[in-house]
Amino acid sequence: MNLTDLNVLKKEEKKRMVRGMKFGGRIWKFGDDIDTDLIIPARFLNVSEGSELAKRCFADLRPDFARSVSKGDIIVAGRNFGCGSSREHAPLAIKEAGISVIIAASFARIFYRNAFNIGLPLIESFDASKELSDGDEASVDLESGIIERSRDGKIYEAKAIPPFMAELIEAGGLVEYTRSRKLKS
C-alpha cells in the first residue's frame, strides 16, 4: 500500500469519526495540570516512532497504563491537560497507545493544536471531567458532543468542537488539509 492509499484510508477513518461515530471504552482518570513530561518523559524523546513512544506513555506517573490500555479507551482529566513542552510526542504516544478521545476541563494551547493536527480528538467538559471515575466505561459521540456514562446512562454535554478543528479532522489532519487546500491553488 502506498502513502496515498494510506492517507485516503486515514481520511475516511477520520470522517466517520466526526460524523457521529461513537467511541466507547474504559476511562483512565488523571488530575489537573498533567504536563508533557508526565505524558512522555524527555529521556524517551531520543526516538520519534509512535509505537515506541506509546510503550513509555505515562511511564513515571502510571507505569501500568501502557501495558493495560486497550484500543478505544478514553482519558478523562482536569484542567490544563498537556501543559509544558511543545513535544508532539505527547499526543502521539497517547494516540498510538490506543486512546480514542481525551475529555478534560481544559487543554493547554500547544497540546490542543498538536492533538487535532495528528487526528486525536479532544473535547472539553467540566462536569464530565469531574464526575467520571477511573475504571468507568463511557461512550462519546464527537459530532453531538454527548458523553454517556455506561453504568447509569448519565449524559454530559461537551462543548462542540470548533468548526475549524472539525474541518481539520474531516480533512484527515493538517497534512491532508494542507495538501488539499494550499498546494493545489
Partner 1 sequence: MAMTITEKILAQHANLDRVAPGDLIEVKVDRTLANDITAPIAIKVFKQIGVKEVFDKDKVTLVADHFVPNKDIDSAQQVKLMRDFAREQALTHYYEGGDSGIEHVILPEKGLVLPGHLVIGADSHTCTYGALGAFSTGVGSTDLGVIMATGEIWLKVPPTIRVEINGTRKPYVGGKDLILHLIGLIGVEGALYSSLEFAGETVDGLSMSQRLTMANMAIEAGGKNGIFEPDDATLSFVKERSLLNPVIFKSDNGAHYERVIKIDASRLEPQVAFPHSPANVRELSKVGTVAIDQAFIGSCTNGSLEDLQDAAEILKGRHVAPGVRLIVIPGSPLIYKQAIMKGLVEIFLDAGAVIGPPCCGPCLGGHMGILAAGERAIATTNRNFIGRMGHPQSEVYLSNPFVAAASAILGKIGGPDELKGK
Give the residues lining the site for partner 1 (CB under 8 A): 3, 7, 33, 35, 37-38, 41-43, 45-48, 60-61, 79-80, 83-89, 91-92, 106, 108-110, 113-114, 117-118, 164, 173-175, 178-179, 182-183
Cross-strand bridge partners of residue 35:
83
15 vs 179, beta carbon nearer partner 1: 179
Look at the chain and count its residues: 185
71 vs 182, beta carbon nearer partner 1: 182
Query: In the 8-state DSSP scheme, what is residue 149?
Result: E
25 vs 82, beta carbon nearer partner 1: 82
CB of residue 18 to partner 1, shortest distance in Å: 18
Do residues 126 and 105 touch, judged by C-beta distance below 8 A?
A: yes
The strand order across the sheet containing 74-77 reads 122-124, 101-104, 74-77, 22-29, 137-141, 146-149, 155-157
CB of residue 75 to partner 1, shortest distance in Å: 18
CB of residue 55 to partner 1, shortest distance in Å: 14
153 vs 164, beta carbon nearer partner 1: 164
CB of residue 151 to partner 1, shortest distance in Å: 31
What contacts 24+ positions apart, CB below 8 Å, involve 178-182?
A: 179/7
- The shares of helix, strand and coil residues in the chain, as percent rounded to the nearest 5, are 40, 20, 40
